[in-house]
Amino acid sequence: MGTIRLGCSGWDYRDWVGSLYKRDEPSKLKAYTSVFNTAEINSTFYSYPKPGLVLGWASHSPDDFLFSVKLNRTITHEKRLDTAAGVEDDVQRFCDLLQPLEKAGKLACILIQIPPSLKYSHAIVEGFLAILPDGIPFALEFKNRTWLTDDVSRLLGNYNITPVMTDGPALPKQELASPDMAYIRWHGRGGRVWYNYRYSKRELEPWVKSIRKLSNDVDVLGYFNNHYHGYAPENCLDVLEMLGITTPNQEQMHELLRTGQARPAARATTLAEFADLEVSSGEIEKMLLEFTDARRLERARQIKDVEILKEEPDLLVADVGGYSIYMDYNGRFILHDCQDWRRGTARRRMCKHVAALLLSLPPEKGRLLLDLIKAQKWDFRPYTG
């Protein structure tokens, strides 16, 4: 009989203040670990963690707590797993930084997330899997249908890599596992933004059945990524309750979330602090055509994988289809890292990813941002961090 550990993808969300966290909570990690026994760390995807930060994760979490850590995007999205581009050194550097977690017995797994645009290549993937260090569990999440083949299953099995099961619009549900572990990620089923979604118990019931079945043979790790408005911890507790394995502390928190007593308000817009503009009343798509063309706008409409990673009074950080976007309201610039954006920065032309982000925002906020970008002549810069 395997163990079942379920948690959330990240824990440092402003939306969760007033729900999972008290408004004066001194440590979100401490509060999170009082409810859940595992977490997935996504920040490592965007930058290599500082040694002190990793040591803090190891030191300020319970002895039986486990972390899954997402592999850095330099390896997966920039060098695209290619050993000829030097990813072996990058992987070793990343794993070395996680040694405090490994030594403390708190490293559950390293998550390899494949970019949606990367089609399956046996040679590239096998070359990459062959250089992964022994002794560390790895899980691999793919996001397009070229990976749904028997060859992928055989290759992952040969290297004992766990294929990730996902719930989201990109791929159909499949029951996958390695001989030792099953790894599940719930992204949400939102129309414009996947992660802005609250699962019903009816939608979660098939997953409860799968977890019960899988746990007869392997350990199960699962993480909810639908973090908007505190939906992730609530849905995670839903599944734990349906499995009949909640702790008293989890039951208490679940009741608060379920009854709405701890439900936070939606994010407040603070952009008005940075401009004396009257917000335009036009359609946001027409406003976007001042910065992009109809072809790119149509492609932007098709993008659903939009995740707001951080919102502060003076900045917005997002992931759109595996690409980073950083908007600095005070500095009046946008950083982004796709090739089309790089080619269009001199002309201040928006690519489909930036347009998709603006389309995903509440209409008034999107219009206000476009007003600011136009009136203040924001810089468009390539992201190099």
**Is a pLDDT exceeding 70 seen at residue 148?**
yes
Mean pLDDT computed over 83-103: 97
At residue 168 the predicted structure's pLDDT band, cuts being 50, 70 and 90, is confident
Mean pLDDT computed over 232-249: 97
What is the structure's pLDDT at 382?
83
**Is a pLDDT exceeding 80 seen at residue 384?**
no
Which segment of 159-168, 186-195, 353-362 scores lowest on mean pLDDT? 186-195
CATH top-level class for 4-258?
alpha beta
**Is a pLDDT exceeding 50 seen at residue 11?**
yes
**Is a pLDDT exceeding 70 seen at residue 172?**
yes
What is the structure's pLDDT at 173?
82
At residue 376 the predicted structure's pLDDT band, cuts being 50, 70 and 90, is confident
Tell me: the pLDDT tens digits for 21-64? Answer: 988 889 999 999 999 999 999 889 888 999 999 999 999 999 99
**Is a pLDDT exceeding 70 seen at residue 271?**
no
**Is a pLDDT exceeding 50 seen at residue 277?**
no
Mean pLDDT computed over 131-159: 95
Average pLDDT over the chain, rounded to whole? 90
**Is a pLDDT exceeding 80 seen at residue 342?**
yes
More confident residue, 337 or 62: 62
Cα gap 372→277, rounded to integer Å: 8
**Is a pLDDT exceeding 80 seen at residue 192?**
no
What is the structure's pLDDT at 331?
81
What is the structure's pLDDT at 335?
92
At residue 269 the predicted structure's pLDDT band, cuts being 50, 70 and 90, is very low
Cα gap 184→207, rounded to integer Å: 9
**Is a pLDDT exceeding 80 seen at residue 254?**
yes
Tell me: the pLDDT tens digits for 197-224? Answer: 899 999 999 999 999 999 999 999 999 9
**Is a pLDDT exceeding 70 seen at residue 268?**
no
What is the structure's pLDDT at 276?
44
Sign of CA dihedral 82, 88, 93, 96: positive
Mean pLDDT computed over 161-181: 89
**Can you tell me which residue has the tokens 């706008």?**
297
Mean pLDDT computed over 13-27: 86
**Is a pLDDT exceeding 90 seen at residue 304?**
no
Q: For residue 316, report the phi and psi dihedrals to the nearest 5 degrees.
A: -140, 125
Cα gap 260→185, rounded to integer Å: 25
Instruction: Show me where the domains of the chain are located.
Output: 4-258, 271-382
Please give the model's pTM, rounded to 2 decimal places: 0.75
**Is a pLDDT exceeding 70 seen at residue 263?**
no
What is the structure's pLDDT at 379?
92
What is the structure's pLDDT at 261?
55
What is the structure's pLDDT at 273?
47
